[in-house]
Amino acid sequence: MLDKLLGYVSNKPEIYETSSSKFWDDEHISKGMLEAHLNPEWDAATRNHNFITKSVEWIASIANPVQYPELLDLGCGPGLYAERFHKSGYHVTGIDYSMRSIEYAINNAKTKDITITYKYQNYLNITYQEQFDVITLIYCDFSVMSKHDRTRLLNSIYQALKPSGKFILDVFTPQQYKDRKEAKDWDYNEGGFWSEKVHICLNSFYRYDESSTMLEQTVVITKDSIECYNLWDHTFIREELEEDLQQAGFTTVDFYGDVAGDVYKPDGNLMCAVAKKKGR
């Protein structure tokens, strides 16, 4: 175990090096993620619920569900956005890679007698063809993937949209990490978010400024195991995101300060893009 530990902490990871174990679908970690989703005041696994409501209202104003009825919510979690989209008049499909979140969403929709299609799936593997009018990817999920996977996903999203369909996403800009330096620390826990067992966390923050990418790494050490979780975040300038969207085929890209329609600010920490597919 010592060699394994030294391998994690003695060298800076290669960019986009994968975790040693699943994160989003981990049996224990997913409990804490769901709790964070459902806390109405937290901006943790998702944004606070008041902002979510405001965001859905804005999206419905720029993509009216009468004109754009079919909506796909990628990374839907436990359905917080999806239920509000449904209430706004959309026909909603939600995809997420956390079985716990999807099961919660399905059960909650049944309890409320809400018709939403939920799927447990890695959204990198979607194969829809011109099925949706609106596709959303919210809370900077686009930023956690490598360049290869981002390109792959954009191409799949473009194919999944009907002509004149809209893709709405948000990302962090370099301002989010402007003054943050690389650092390491550790903490001792008798249970908690990372494990139900007594454990030590070795936490590292790494910068890959040559590619505008950051890494939050947590190595979790219990009596019986060592696991390493690498959470990546690529930051975008407007020109890069616009170029990526245009290369996927989108003809029009509008920018905002967030997914609730705030005015775009060049020096802001956050950026929202609304990309439109060419109509017939």
Question: Residue 70 — pLDDT band, cuts 50, 70, 90?
Answer: very high
Both 158 and 227 in a single domain?
no
CATH number at residue 100: 3.40.50.150
Tokens of 191: 């249970």
Q: Which of 166, 151, 156 is nearest to 279 (CA)?
A: 166
Domain count, the chain: 2
β-pair type (161-172, 270-276) = antiparallel
Answer yes or no: is 30 within a domain.
Answer: no
Q: Are residue 189 and residue 152 in the same domain, yes or no?
A: no
12 and 132 housed in the same domain? no
249-260 confidence digits (pLDDT tens): 999 999 999 999
> Is residue 131 in some structural domain?
yes
Q: Provide the pLDDT confidence category of residue 3 given band limits of 50, 70 and 90.
A: confident
The pLDDT, as a whole number, for residue 6 is 79
Residue 55 lies in a domain: yes
Q: Are residues 73 and 51 in the same domain?
A: yes
Residue 205 domain flag: yes
pLDDT at position 4 over 90: no
Strands 91-96 and 117-120: parallel
Pair 60, 85 in one domain: yes
Q: Are residues 250 and 152 in the same domain?
A: yes
What does DSSP say about strands 91-96 and 213-221: parallel, antiparallel, or unpaired?
unpaired
For residue 34, being part of any structural domain is answered with no
**Within this chain, do residues 129 and 191 fall inside the same structural domain, yes or no?**
no
Q: Collapsing DSSP states into helix, strand and coil, what is residue 63?
A: coil
Mean pLDDT of 197-203: 97
> Do 50 and 135 fall within a single domain?
yes
Residues 216 and 132 in one domain: no
- Domain assignment present for residue 27? The answer is no
Residue keyed to tokens 């990418």? 213
Structural domain of residue 126, as residue ranges? Answer: 39-172+236-276
The Cα–Cα gap between 113 and 90 comes to 15
pLDDT digits (tens, 9 = 90+) for 137-161: 999 999 999 999 999 999 999 999 9
Answer yes or no: is 33 within a domain.
no
- Asked if 262 and 233 count as a contact pair (C-beta separation under 8 A), the reply is no
In a domain, 159, yes or no: yes
Per DSSP, the three-state class of 22 is coil
Q: Say whether both 168 and 180 belong to one domain.
A: no
Same domain as 146, residue 269: yes
DSSP state letters, 151-199: HHHHHHHHHHEEEEEEEEEEEE-GGGGTTPPPEEEEEEEES-SS-SSEE
pLDDT at 74 exceeding the cut of 80: yes
Do both 122 and 187 map to the same domain?
no
Answer whether 173's CB lies under 8 Å from 236's CB. Answer: yes
Which residues are within 8 A (CB) of 65 and not within 5 positions of it... i.e. 6 or more apart? 71, 88, 89, 90
Residue 1, pLDDT > 80, answer: no
